[in-house]
């Protein structure tokens, strides 16, 4: 089962936000860069569409990482993209406590992520990979497996 990093009791966390603007890369090259960032351990990485100088469409490639890993991700952006510069800032965020559990559906076990705020479970999200695997194996719609994981007959 996945292990999740404990959350500070008040939900505070410090991360680095690293980003660059890009307007001269192909979709394939952008996807490859994002893949490299995630494989290197980025907490999150995403594209935001923007208009650049001369009204050229482009993207802002943003990475969230631990502050100590900021130099690694700055180097990766400089190496894996066409950008000539990278900017960053250290930011605070509030995050919810998370826990994993597992339930048994009629087709097999599914891990679930529980979001907890002030000691109360406020949402439950079945793990997509578990649900997709069971849906494929049993020739079921994905939503059928997700629903069974949200409302199981037996929890383990």
Q: What is the DSSP letter of 57?
A: E
- The strand pairing partners of 56, in sequence order, are none
Distance CA 134, CA 140 (A): 8
Sequence spans of domains, the chain: 12-94, 97-155
- 97-155: same fold as 12-94? no
Q: What per-residue confidence (pLDDT) applies to 1? A: 36
Q: For position 11, what pLDDT does the model report?
A: 79
pLDDT digits (tens, 9 = 90+) for 9-47: 567 899 999 999 999 999 999 999 999 999 999 999 999
H-type alpha helices, the chain: 27-39, 70-80, 128-138, 142-150
How many Å is the Cα radius of gyration of the chain?
20
**What value does the mean pLDDT of the chain take?**
92
Fold annotation for 12-94: Alpha-Beta Plaits (3.30.70)
**pLDDT value at residue 48:** 98
pLDDT at 2: 38
Query: Considering the domain 97-155 in this protein, what is its CATH number?
Result: 3.10.20.300
Whether residue 82 contacts residue 75, with contact meaning beta carbons closer than 8 Å, is answered with no
Question: What per-residue confidence (pLDDT) applies to 152?
Answer: 79
Judged against a pLDDT cut of 80, whether residue 109 lies above it is answered with yes
């Amino acid at each position: 089962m996945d292990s999740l990093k404990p959350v500070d009791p008040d939900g505070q966390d410090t991360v680095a936000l690293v980003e660059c603007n890009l307007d001269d890369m192909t979709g394939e090259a952008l996807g490859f860069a994002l893949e490299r960032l995630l494989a290197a351990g980025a907490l999150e990485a995403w594209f935001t569409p923007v208009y650049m100088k001369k009204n050229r469409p482009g993207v802002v490639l943003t990475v969230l990482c631990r502050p100590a890993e900021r130099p690694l991700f700055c180097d990766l952006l400089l190496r894996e993209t066409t950008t000539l510069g990278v900017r960053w800032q250290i930011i605070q965020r509030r995050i919810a406590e998370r826990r994993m559990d597992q339930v048994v559906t009629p087709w097999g076990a599914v891990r679930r992520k529980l979001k907890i705020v002030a000691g109360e479970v406020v949402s439950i999200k079945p793990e997509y990979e578990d649900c997709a695997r069971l849906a494929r194996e049993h020739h079921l719609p994905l939503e059928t497996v997700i629903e069974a994981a949200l409302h199981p007959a037996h929890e383990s």
